[in-house]
């Protein structure tokens, strides 16, 4: 016990805080993911093919909660530079949506490669850091990508009173997918 008193107070505080946080981390942060899947073929398939869904998950120790993850994304985001070529899509009701194609020079892709369609969040646009990182990662493995911008999002004109509605308005997305299929039929 005499050794403990020989340690400066700020190191004692650090040691006690570290031990307390470690206990808190293992009790409250480390847990198995919650899955809500009915018993059946799909569940048994997941159990055999994705065993990590049924093991304990260890989040990053310095960022364990959903609120802290949201804050850390704000402070630690990386934004690679990506240029786009915008293609507007005329919608059936007179509205306008857009497809933002990353510009890559020279064009290294064949027309038969799969295309990953990225859709930003409700208030998102093509310069969101998570989309920029997705695009650069997809390019690194040789895949094409395109970002679908809903009406009024990311500088797309809002020509009709109808704005983005992710639940009811699937026709806009269907038209965008059809445009991609027209451009790259294979």
What predicted TM-score, i.e. pTM, was given to this entire model?
Answer: 0.63
Confidence band of 106 (pLDDT split at 50, 70, 90): low
Instruction: Inform me whether the pLDDT recorded for 92 exceeds 80.
Output: yes
Give the percent of the chain with pLDDT over 90. 23
pLDDT of residue 127: 87
pLDDT of residue 108: 59
Average pLDDT over residues 13-22: 94
Q: What is the pLDDT of residues 159-185, one digit of tens each?
A: 888 777 666 568 888 899 999 998 887
Judge whether 158 and 136 are in contact, CB under 8 Å.
Answer: no
pLDDT of residue 142: 82
pLDDT of residue 65: 77
Judge whether 97 and 117 are in contact, CB under 8 Å.
Answer: no
Burial letters 148-179, b for 16+ CB under 10 A, else e: bbbbbbbebeeeeebebeeeebeebeebbeeb
Instruction: Inform me whether the pLDDT recorded for 18 exceeds 90.
Output: yes
| CB neighbour list of residue 176: distance below 8 Å, 6 or more residues apart | 89, 97, 99, 117, 148
pLDDT of residue 157: 83
Distance from C-alpha of 157 to C-alpha of 67, rounded to nearest angstrom: 33
Confidence band of 3 (pLDDT split at 50, 70, 90): confident
- The CA-atom distances, in angstroms, between 87 and each of 12, 32, 58, 139, 156 are 61, 44, 42, 20, 10
């Amino acid at each position: 016990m005499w050794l403990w008193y020989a340690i400066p107070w700020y190191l004692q505080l650090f040691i006690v805080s570290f031990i307390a946080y470690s206990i808190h981390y293992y009790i409250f942060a480390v847990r198995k993911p919650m899955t809500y899947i009915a018993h059946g073929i799909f569940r048994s398939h997941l159990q055999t093919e994705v065993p990590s869904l049924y093991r304990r998950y260890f989040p990053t120790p310095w960022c364990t909660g959903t609120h802290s993850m949201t804050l850390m994304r704000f402070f630690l985001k990386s934004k690679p530079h990506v240029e786009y070529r915008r293609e507007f899509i005329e919608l059936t009701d007179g509205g306008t949506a857009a497809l933002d194609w990353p510009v890559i020079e020279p064009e290294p892709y064949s027309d038969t490669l799969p295309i990953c369609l990225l859709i930003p969040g409700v208030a998102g646009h093509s310069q969101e850091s998570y989309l920029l990182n997705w695009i650069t990662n997809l390019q690194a493995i040789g895949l094409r990508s395109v970002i679908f911008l809903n009406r009024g999002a990311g500088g797309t004109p809002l020509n009709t009173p109808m704005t983005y509605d992710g639940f009811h308005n699937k026709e806009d997305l269907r038209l965008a997918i059809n445009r991609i299929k027209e451009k790259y039929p294979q």
